């Protein structure tokens, strides 16, 4: 018995996998033995890697697996990987001694095609164009889903108006408390701090030109027309929009929505309409409170940091703003609320039966909600500018 056969015999007796090179005339045989299973993954990986380095560039190589007593998918893939790495041009490494029990497994692994080496530039351009196409198609699908949900909500509203007794007042009040009342502290705090920051930065830069008082004009117009309602809408999209998606998604996963349909209830009327109405009522209220908090914070900083007396601040504010600025901000709020609610409900109903899907759609709800809020703000800015407001 030569040294290779002794190594094989010792490996089989100890129950460990082996892979020994044995010279066969002008060729070389790699004799595998013992259990080739995932249990011995580190050992097998190292043996295959060493064999690939040892046998690289040699012709007439075959792999003898007649002494392999156990073989699973992991071991079969390593043998196939070794065969592919030792194949040189037209000379293909062969697998010999394969028992009938494992031949079908090795054949199945062999059918797995290696990824073809492609031109990097070509792949990147193709991938980029593919991604652009998928993004455009996905955006179109999102718009269709939003329009479909808007139509369903309007139809449900019509049915409720025709039969007022079917309106779920208790559910609406509950969601109004969650969306509006419980959101007042965080909305007030954030808008107060934003007003302070705008006022401080305005005074810091206007002071260079001796125009400290003009910070009141900037603060009033920005808060009432743009920053107040936009900031509140973004916070509502992150707070309430994600909550709507998570609630509806959890109901979808537990098949509660299907149960409602089975009992003859319309999920749009029972689940979505009260949430939409609560959001449409809550956002203008929160926008007003947020604007007041921002103006108060800005006035406080103007007094303490800029030396602008509260009385002078109020007089300048009254001259700088008009009712139009307030109307422009408040008019945006219900539309933004409707957009946030529709996006949140669409994503919630799209949740599938896994926690991963729930997380993905909740994240998507927040991102899409904020995106459409900003888009709507830009549309409103163009519209009001065109009519002179």
What is residue 62's three-state secondary structure? strand
- pLDDT at position 85: 78
* CA pair distance 213, 221, nearest whole angstrom: 14
d(CA 222, CA 216): 10
Q: Tell me what pLDDT residue 279 has.
A: 95
Kindly indicate whether the domain formed by 3-110 is annotated with CATH number 3.30.930.10.
no
- Residues forming CATH 3.30.750.24 domain(s) in the chain: 3-110
Strand segments (E) across 72-138: 94-96
Tens-place pLDDT, residues 106-155: 777 777 765 444 444 445 688 788 788 888 888 888 888 889 999 999 99
Separation CA 333–CA 330 (nearest Å): 5
Query: What is the rounded radius of gyration, in angstroms, for the C-alpha atoms of the chain?
Result: 35
Q: Can you tell me the distance from the alpha carbon of 127 to that of 133, in angstroms, rounded to the nearest whole number? A: 10
Residue 187 CA to residue 221 CA, distance in Å, equals 19
Q: How many CA atoms lie within 13 A of 91 on its CB side?
A: 10
DSSP assignment of 183-248, as one string? GHHHHHHHHHHHHHHHHHHHHHHHGGGT-TTHHHHHHHHIIIIIIHHHHHHHHHIIIIIHHHHHHH
Element (H, E) at 35: strand 27-36
In angstroms, rounded to a whole number, what is the distance separating the alpha carbons of residues 62 and 28? 7
As a residue count, the chain comes to 389
Return per-residue pLDDT of the chain as tens, 389 residues. Answer: 444 444 444 444 457 888 887 766 666 778 888 888 888 888 888 888 887 776 655 667 778 888 888 888 888 888 888 887 777 666 667 787 777 777 777 777 777 765 444 444 445 688 788 788 888 888 888 888 889 999 999 999 999 999 989 889 999 999 999 999 999 999 999 999 999 999 999 998 888 888 888 888 899 999 998 888 999 999 999 999 999 999 999 998 888 888 988 898 889 998 999 999 999 999 999 999 999 999 999 999 999 988 888 898 899 999 888 888 889 989 999 999 999 999 999 999 988 877 888 889 999 999 999 999 999 999 998 998 898 87
pLDDT at 237: 93
Name the phi and psi angles at 356, rounded to 5. -65, -45
**What is the spatial order of strands in the sheet that 27-36 belongs to?**
18-24, 27-36, 61-71, 94-96
| Element holding 64 (H helix, E strand) | strand 61-71
Q: What is the pLDDT of residue 84?
A: 79
* pLDDT on residue 9: 45
Q: Classify the phi-psi angles of 17: left when phi > 0, otherwise alpha if psi is within -120 to 50, otherwise beta.
A: beta
Structure tokens at 263: 């009992």
- Cα distance between residue 307 and residue 322, in whole Å: 25
Distance, C-alpha 4 to centroid of its chain: 56
């Amino acid at each position: 018995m030569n040294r290779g056969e002794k190594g094989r015999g010792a490996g089989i007796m100890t129950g460990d996998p082996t892979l020994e090179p044995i010279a066969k005339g002008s060729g070389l045989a790699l004799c595998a033995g013992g259990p080739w299973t995932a249990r011995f993954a580190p050992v097998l990986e190292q043996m295959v890697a060493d064999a690939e380095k040892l046998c690289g560039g040699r012709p007439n190589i075959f792999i003898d697996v007649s002494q392999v007593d156990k073989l699973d998918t992991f071991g079969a893939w390593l043998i196939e990987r070794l065969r592919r790495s030792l194949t040189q041009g037209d000379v293909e490494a062969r697998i010999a001694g394969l028992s009938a029990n494992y031949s079908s497994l090795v054949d199945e692994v062999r059918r797995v095609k290696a990824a073809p080496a492609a031109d990097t530039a070509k792949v990147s351009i193709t991938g980029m164009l593919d991604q652009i196409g998928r993004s455009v198609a996905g955006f179109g699908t999102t718009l269709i889903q939003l329009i479909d949900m808007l139509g369903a909500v309007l139809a449900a509203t019509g049915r409720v108006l025709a039969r007022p007794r079917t309106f779920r007042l208790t559910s609406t009040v509950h969601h109004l408390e969650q969306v509006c009342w419980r959101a007042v502290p965080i909305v007030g705090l954030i808008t107060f701090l934003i007003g302070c920051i705008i006022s401080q930065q305005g005074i810091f830069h206007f002071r260079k030109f001796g125009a400290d008082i003009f910070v009141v004009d900037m603060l009033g117009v920005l808060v009432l027309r743009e920053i107040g309602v936009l900031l509140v809408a973004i916070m509502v999209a992150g707070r309430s929009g994600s909550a709507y998606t998570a609630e509806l998604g959890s109901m979808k996963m537990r098949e509660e929505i299907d149960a409602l349909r089975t009992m003859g209830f319309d999920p749009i009327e029972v689940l979505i309409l009260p949430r939409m109405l609560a959001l449409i009522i809550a956002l203008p209220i929160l926008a007003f409170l947020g604007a007041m908090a921002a103006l108060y914070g800005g006035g406080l900083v103007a007094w303490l940091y800029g030396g602008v007396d509260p009385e002078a601040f109020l007089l300048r504010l009254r001259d700088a703003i008009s009712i139009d600025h307030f109307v422009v901000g408040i008019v945006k709020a219900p539309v933004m609320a409707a957009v946030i609610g529709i996006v949140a409900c669409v994503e919630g109903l799209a949740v599938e039966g896994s926690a991963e899907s729930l997380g993905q759609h909740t994240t998507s709800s927040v991102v899409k909600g904020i995106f459409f809020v900003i888009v709507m703000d830009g549309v409103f800015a163009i519209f009001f500018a065109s009519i002179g407001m």
